[in-house]
Amino acid sequence: MRPFSWLSRLKYAALAGVAGWLAGVALTIPFEYGVAQRYVNGNAGEIPRVLAEGLLVWSAFTFFIAFVAWVPLVLPVLLLVPPAWLVRWRRLLVPCSVLVAGFAMGVRLNLFQHKNFVSEKAFLYAFGTAPYTFSLAFALVLAVVYVKMAARRLARG
């Protein structure tokens, strides 16, 4: 078995990051559709234009969020930890990556405050947001895609 080079680890990490970003953007399209409906004030003919503008801005914003999370947090782990170890511990890695992303975004958005746990509706409004959904989807898809690509490469030898 040949070892992974730094360049191949970087390529796999970049591909996994792009896949996570695309999945996160695709998963948050319903949030953007709701925002577009609110902005057109009943003029249904403007929904495609407003939705396109909103998705463009949202895609740029989430790309920035993903890049800021990917460079200092994900890239060092994927470059320094051997891919065989990540594949071997994938049953722990994938759920933990989602939990860490959810906790980090929750702390960043101040979602773990007492006022958010007063009722079930407040809890849902606090954690059912587009940025929170994006961060969970990004972390999940990034971890799964990287582990699958690394496992395929390790199986090839």
How many C-alpha atoms does 81 have within 13 Å on its Cβ side? 19
Domain range annotation of the chain: 6-156
Per-residue confidence in pLDDT tens, the chain, 157 aa = 567 888 999 999 999 999 999 999 999 999 999 989 988 888 889 999 999 999 999 999 999 989 988 888 888 998 899 999 999 999 999 999 999 998 988 888 777 777 767 777 777 777 788 999 999 999 999 999 999 999 999 998 7
Give the CA count within 13 Å in the CB-facing half-sphere of 43: 9
Between CA 65 and CA 34 the distance in angstroms is 21
The alpha carbon of residue 22 and the mean position of all alpha carbons in its chain are separated, in whole angstroms, by 8
Look up the pTM and report it. Answer: 0.89
